[in-house]
Structure 1
Amino acid sequence: MSDDTSGDRKFTDEELQDLVASSDAGARTPTQRPVALLIGGLALTWSLFQLWIAQPQLWFGAYFPVLNSSQTRPVHLAFALALAFLCYPALKSSPRHKVPIVDWVLGIVATGTALYVFWYSDYLAQTARSGLPTQTQIVIGCIGIVLLLEASRRALGPALTIVGAIFLAYSYFGQGWLIPDIIAHEGLSFTSIVNAQWLDTQGVFGIPLGVSTAFVFLFVLFGSLLDKAGAGNYFIQLAFAGLGHLRGGPAKAAVVGSAMTGVISGSSIANVVTTGTFTIPLMKRVGFTAEQAGSVEVASSVNGQIMPPVMGAAAFLMVEFIGISYVEVIKHAFIPAVISYIALVYIVHLEALKKDMPSLGEGPSLGRMALNFFLGFAIFGAGFTALIYIIGGLNAVVPSLTTPITMVALAAVYVALVYVASRQEDLEMDDPNAEIVKLPKVGEVWKTGLHYVLPIIVLVWFLMVEQQSPARSAFFATALMLFIIVTQKPLKAMFRKGSSIRAATVEGGWDLLDGLIAGARNMIGIGVATAAAGIIVATVTRTPIGTELASLVEALSGGILIVMLVLVGLFSLVLGMGLPTTANYIVVSSLMASVVVSLGAQEGLIVPLIAAHLFVFYFGIMADVTPPVGLASFAAAAVSGGDPIKTGFTAFFYSLRTVALPFLFIYNPTLILYGVDLATASGVAHAAFVFVIATFAMLLFAAATQGYFLARSNLLESAALLLVAFTLFVPNFWLNQVSPRFADIPPDQFEQALAEAEPGSRIRIRIEGPDFATGNTTATTLPIDVPEGDAATRIQETGLMFRPDSDDAALEEPMFGTSIQERLSSFDFYSDDPVRISEVLAPRDRMPAQIFYIPALILLGVVIVMQRRRQTKPAF
């Protein structure tokens, strides 16, 4: 691909769409009408099946059997496998206009192996899942695994296939010269591997495929329908109308447009091509090089995967893997994603200042734009809050009529918004290569697509306010989107009076079919990826690699925490190469998230599990940016005509803020609002304070890495800006240097310290003892939340049990079923060398860490004074 995209080689629109299709939906387009209809029919049936199993009322239960998860997952995979072999050619040289006989055979056999698990689920429960697989089941499972890996190779490239094959080989052999002793094991039998991976419910048909079946498909379908209705173009045009006239405006619009597109897109590559075909030529026109223009698009499109509410489907996987609510995931992910986008807009602005780029036209002042934005935000917030109280009042007064009244009101608002849109001309994507670029006006654009916001509001309402499951929320939002895509054009035709309602109705019907088919085809890779990733998950749970990988990373890093985190980040980056976001997160989180938590605990740093998952997720998606794979960078280079390797490295440089953020919220979990209660006024105020400080710090970090603030920065000024940004992000670092965080209490006084501590406070204890697997001495740090009650009650609540007549805080095995017992499961409590509390740390009263903001701001003031003398153009 690099040969094709190097130099000034640009791809045509047809080639770009083929690039996206090859990555997301399959490059094969059969010319034989029956085959094309079959592929379209399968995709349409898959979408209808997913809508059928997702609808929450189960009205058909009296007439048709209701399928459970062990039955819906195989059907989901059967559709994905069938379409993978029909839509994705085996090789680049394979025909695209027809389906070879071999692919027909492979598709039918692969579909059959998945449907076998569906049809014989009860029989499998009695045999294979009870540890008694038959020879026939083993043969079917073996064929299924091989064909699944081949389907993943076709749909996703070789990365996941190679990783899956390596994990299967590791499961079978267990040891060898390539396998470090620390993760070696005796090896599993061929039968047990096939049984665990294909016939059981924890391998291929485990949680990842379950999330794909229950949640991901609906959100991908929702995004496909929204885009088919015209929302993608609306968001891009709105971004250009608001930001296009500023310095570097096309790049700023690309960032904002990609952020909004990221809400409805689960693919960074599709995001690059969708927005990039319009934004990249305009960025080049105002002075960006081909590589810079492509890099801005890559950085903004990849960041769409960290933007709630979808996050490339990783949000729903986090719910399953971590065991917290969806609202909690969104709460923790929101601030890092938003400040990352704000910083990227600022980076683009600095590039425009450095090159003195012109604007594309005149527009309102920046102050007026900011005022309009905050006014709009305030009006929307007030309206949404009022809606909450209105529906709450209806529920209190007429609970039985709340739903019908709400539906009628929603329909009336929708019709009114379509009427407003019909008074404007439909948005058409302008030619970015035209001699004269006419920027759209906000006053004209915003009216044309307000009805597209309704399904997003419905989605957010059910997720955040009603706190319904993601599947139920996505179903209602998708149902509204189905209604909108069918009715918007007929309604516009009716309001415009001169248009044919019948022709518009037919057009709306075709849009619906296209959206349903496109949504299913976009799910092929994700369905196959989540199934193949289940192989890694099952291997991790059944071999020592899941528990001993932390020891391997610790050995490689020499026990230095920051080096450990860098290694984990690099491992996540390598593991994520060539994988779509969903599979990427499954693989890296299965292997690396627990490593971050356990290594942090060994060094005395209590890392929240959600912070560890976000850490590996951020680094995993960076694989879409960085060479040698960097799929999004190659796609951007195909649009810009730039060099893909240079584009990838430039995009990585622009994405340094995304690389820095995971380290920052590991050391300061407040950045992800961990421990902040948003249900109280003080919690909301704390969150707002964190957001403002973090945004300011990230802007300074961007200025430091770009070498430009008010003027070009020298090395000392850039270092000073980095120091100020670091202090604002992690003020505790400096406080810990001058005032120890904890008072060191002798271990034998733990019970006394626990009895004297305030209820609700937290004591940390360091546990040392022999490791159950190796016998070597290991250690970990545990937080103990002080409960109510007397001393004896508090000890019992912790789950800790002390050895009788021991004066060195030696421990017995903790109470079974407690969280402490699970956290200490790797220790050998029956060894001659006892497990003991080696250190007790109680929090001390200290001055607030924010006191260090004062010297940081003074240093910032010095930099400002120095740069003001050299400033030649406005900073904004």
Structure 2
Amino acid sequence: MAEQQTNEIDKHELMAKYDKESNFRTKLGPWGWLTLAIGAALTIFQLYTAYYGAKVSMIQGAIHLGAGLSLVYLLYPIKPAMAKNKGVPWYDALLALTALFTNFYIVYKYDHLINEAIVFGFTAFDQIVATVGILLLLEATRRVVGVPIVIIAIIALLYGLFGNHIPIVGHAGYDWPSLATEMFFSSSGVFGIPIQISSTYIYLFLFFGVILVKTNIGQFFNDIALRLTGKYTGGTAKAAVAASGLQGMVSGSSVANTVGSGSFTIPMMKNAGFKPHFAAASEAAASTGGQLMPPIMGAAAFIMASYTGVPYSEIIIIALIPALLYFSGVFMGTHFEARKQGILGLTIDQLPKLKNLIKRLDLFAPLVIIVGFLLAGYTPTFAALFAIFVAFIISFFRRETRMSLKAIIKLLEEGARTALPVIAACATAGIIAGTVTITGLGPKIAGGIIDLAQGQFFLVMVFTMFACIILGMGLPTTANYVVTATMAAPALLAFDVPVIAVHMFVFYFGIVADITPPVCLAAYAGAGIARANPMKAGVTAVKLAIAAFVIPYMFVSQPILLLQGDANALNVSVAVMTAMIGMAAISSSLIGYYVNSLNWIERLIMIIAGLLMVYPHITISLAGLAIFAVITVMQFMQSNSNQAKQQIS
């Protein structure tokens, strides 16, 4: 019991260290009742508007943001070290009240702000409210999300103010009152598309994830994955990849999923014989990949639907093949490493009992419902709401998940707490996206990238990739997609590339920033659990997640992998099969083992063969397949030769 308590403490410390949103006050005292009331009220409001219909977007967003920011100031201290202090300081209570006021001012003065102010101008008090609202938003985002996105937002605001003094990418410039009111009292800034989506779809899916945790579905995923893969070579690592991918779909955070599932999977992998840095890297790569896996995709898919005009129900189908290729790459990497280290699978006695898993199959029902309803054409709001209802009912089937009235109210508050980082990030990302839009910065950045690449399409992709990784470092999933889609995507849109392919490209490279050194927070978190070298874990995670660095180039060049263009059943099947084999070749090369150890020449040839096979063009893929076949035959001949020598000796 004491050991379990120690592990829980370690988990919380790791989350607080690498995941900004987990560094909250735990000793609220009487203030706990207020946070409970506001959090529960926010969730009830979201459920109510989901069922009866959302308010006008500005009012819906203002209530959503106001309640969220007030909770941030009550829960998150000005300095991380102060999280262990008791109670809430007076100044944070005042900031929480002010955050409520500035946002609810929009609710009460809505007619004035969208009608009178547009004609007669904003009053001095309006300008003060807008200024205070923006400052409170930036400070709350710093506390719950981190500094990087706040710095980008401040730079965006400075660009909006002083653009007339900037050469090449300059603009006419705004005075502060005009910029502040445009950012805070219109749908071009804080209350733009990101917060509109957050205040409707995203909140419901996050709350859905909270209920799934309550029903112990995370442990169920672990057990299912271990039962399916545990008996095979390196089964513990394969189980970790499968389980983390499933959990990552609903967690919405690479770091949170790494720590949550990694506290179970990483020690299991180490005990099986995997090196600590590899165990950490496997968990980080799989957890990060969960953000790419439909149907939830870290909640960014909802914003992508608005930006691209592609229905959400289509996006989750379009995103499926690249996500499966990603996890195939990670899965194969763990297999080759296990072969290299001689790590076998578990015995049948060490695996979860099949009859116990069958008894818990009802835990799949909410996920099946949400995917089924979306594919049937229902709105994400309806699908999420019905899935929440089903998951809530399922929680009463078992004594360990059955909830009292007090537990239900606590669950409502937990839904609000989980959403706080997304609320703050989406609102701040709205400032960045709004500034880029009203100043025309997006096309200017695109033009700069194209000029730098001298119009060469491949170089444009490379420069866009680097821009996305840099912009994505330290940003949560939804925010990094908004930023990269606004600032980096226009460069690729200048070429004849399907819009969805461009947005998937920037989405992928924004996500893999979580495992790309030097800022690879998911890998750092995994290394903290494994007691491994963080940078070594980060480099290994990149090797395992190499598909995420390769596949985007392929589906932009040949969008067939996204079911675009000439995507008939035959072409897609051939492209997927050759891509799978190609990922096997690339993974074995990076690990340095296939049937036997690979020398550096063989590794180089395998990478070339793999890249040729991944490219979705039949002639090129067949050339790669031929090269791969030659290496395969050579490897088996070498293996037979080695066995013969061992028998003779």
Q: Shorter-normalised TM-score: what interval?
A: over 0.9
Asked if 1:37 corresponds to 2:33, the answer is: yes
Counterpart secondary structure, 1:93: helix
Indicate if the aligned counterparts of 2:293 and 2:320 stay in contact, CA closer than 8 A.
yes
* Structure 1 pair 228–167 and aligned structure 2 pair: CA distance change class (3 A): same
Asked if 1:287 corresponds to 2:278, the answer is: no
Tell me which amino acid in the other structure corresponds to 2:510: G
Asked if 1:184 corresponds to 2:170, the answer is: yes
Indicate if the aligned counterparts of 1:298 and 1:625 stay in contact, CA closer than 8 A.
yes
Indicate if the aligned counterparts of 2:329 and 2:545 stay in contact, CA closer than 8 A.
no
Q: Considering only CA atoms, is the larger Rg found in Structure 1 or Structure 2?
A: 1
Q: Which of 501, 517, 527 is the aligned partner of 1:627?
A: 517
Asked if 1:557 corresponds to 2:450, the answer is: no
Q: Which of 593, 618, 625 is the aligned partner of 1:857?
A: 625
Counterpart secondary structure, 2:434: helix
Tell me which amino acid in the other structure corresponds to 1:332: I
Distance in structure 2 (CA, Å) of the matches to 1:614 and 1:356: 37
Q: Which of 312, 320, 333 is the aligned partner of 1:326?
A: 312
Tell me which amino acid in the other structure corresponds to 2:626: I
**Match of 1:198?**
184
- After superposition, residues 369-518 of structure 1 pair within 5 angstroms as 439-465=350-376, 467-485=377-395, 487-489=396-398, 507=403, 509-518=405-414
Distance in structure 2 (CA, Å) of the matches to 1:298 and 1:20: 14
Asked if 1:618 corresponds to 2:618, the answer is: no
Distance in structure 1 (CA, Å) of the matches to 2:26 and 2:596: 57
Tell me which amino acid in the other structure corresponds to 2:102: T
Is there any run of 5+ residues in structure 2 with no aligned partner, and where? 644-649
Indicate if the aligned counterparts of 1:16 and 1:638 stay in contact, CA closer than 8 A.
no
Q: Which of 144, 154, 178 is the aligned partner of 1:165?
A: 154
Counterpart secondary structure, 1:184: coil
1:690-739: CA deviations, max 9, x gaps?
3323222222222222222221222332233223223323364xxxxxxx
**Match of 2:8?**
13
Q: Which of 5, 30, 42 is the aligned partner of 1:46?
A: 42
**Match of 2:647?**
none
Distance in structure 1 (CA, Å) of the matches to 2:337 and 2:118: 59
**Match of 1:153?**
142
Tell me which amino acid in the other structure corresponds to 2:385: F
Asked if 1:671 corresponds to 2:561, the answer is: yes
1:101-138: CA deviations, max 9, x gaps?
11111111122111111221111111334572111111
Indicate if the aligned counterparts of 2:578 and 2:621 stay in contact, CA closer than 8 A.
no
Distance in structure 2 (CA, Å) of the matches to 1:852 and 1:532: 44
Indicate if the aligned counterparts of 1:676 and 1:686 stay in contact, CA closer than 8 A.
yes
**Match of 2:493?**
597
Asked if 1:80 corresponds to 2:68, the answer is: yes
Q: Which of 707, 723, 730 is the aligned partner of 2:592?
A: 707
- Scaled by the length of structure 2, the TM-score of the pair is 0.93
Distance in structure 1 (CA, Å) of the matches to 2:245 and 2:356: 18
**Match of 1:687?**
572
In the TM superposition, residue 219 of structure 1 has moved relative to its aligned partner by: 0.4
* Structure 1 pair 338–81 and aligned structure 2 pair: CA distance change class (3 A): same
| More helix per residue | 2
Distance in structure 1 (CA, Å) of the matches to 2:606 and 2:22: 47
Indicate if the aligned counterparts of 2:236 and 2:269 stay in contact, CA closer than 8 A.
yes
In the TM superposition, residue 446 of structure 1 has moved relative to its aligned partner by: 2.2
* Structure 1 pair 516–480 and aligned structure 2 pair: CA distance change class (3 A): same
Indicate if the aligned counterparts of 1:225 and 1:516 stay in contact, CA closer than 8 A.
no
Indicate if the aligned counterparts of 2:189 and 2:433 stay in contact, CA closer than 8 A.
yes
Distance in structure 1 (CA, Å) of the matches to 2:367 and 2:74: 33
Asked if 1:607 corresponds to 2:497, the answer is: yes
1:57-95: CA deviations, max 9, x gaps?
x6xxxxxxx722221110000111011111111112325
* Structure 1 pair 156–173 and aligned structure 2 pair: CA distance change class (3 A): same
Indicate if the aligned counterparts of 2:592 and 2:603 stay in contact, CA closer than 8 A.
yes
- Scaled by the length of structure 1, the TM-score of the pair is 0.70
**Match of 2:610?**
725
**Match of 2:646?**
none
Indicate if the aligned counterparts of 2:21 and 2:145 stay in contact, CA closer than 8 A.
no
Distance in structure 1 (CA, Å) of the matches to 2:397 and 2:97: 39
**Match of 1:661?**
551
Indicate if the aligned counterparts of 2:298 and 2:478 stay in contact, CA closer than 8 A.
yes
% same residue:
32
Distance in structure 2 (CA, Å) of the matches to 1:708 and 1:129: 67
Q: How many residues matched?
A: 636
Indicate if the aligned counterparts of 2:460 and 2:491 stay in contact, CA closer than 8 A.
no
1:476-496: CA deviations, max 9, x gaps?
1112222222x2136x9xxxx
| More strand per residue | 1
Is there any run of 5+ residues in structure 1 with no aligned partner, and where? 1-9, 59-65, 364-437, 493-503, 678-682, 733-849
- After superposition, residues 303-314 of structure 1 pair within 5 angstroms as 303-314=289-300
* Structure 1 pair 450–631 and aligned structure 2 pair: CA distance change class (3 A): same
In the TM superposition, residue 856 of structure 1 has moved relative to its aligned partner by: 3.2
Give every structure 1 segment of 4 or more consecutive aligned residues whose post-TM-superposition deviation is greater than 6 Å: none
Alignment RMSD: 2.2
Q: Which of 285, 288, 296 is the aligned partner of 1:299?
A: 285
**Match of 1:523?**
419
Tell me which amino acid in the other structure corresponds to 1:44: A
**Match of 2:323?**
337
**Match of 1:223?**
209
Distance in structure 1 (CA, Å) of the matches to 2:621 and 2:27: 66
Distance in structure 2 (CA, Å) of the matches to 1:565 and 1:254: 32
1:730-784: CA deviations, max 9, x gaps?
364xxxxxxxxxxxxxxxxxxxxxxxxxxxxxxxxxxxxxxxxxxxxxxxxxxxx
Indicate if the aligned counterparts of 1:152 and 1:525 stay in contact, CA closer than 8 A.
yes
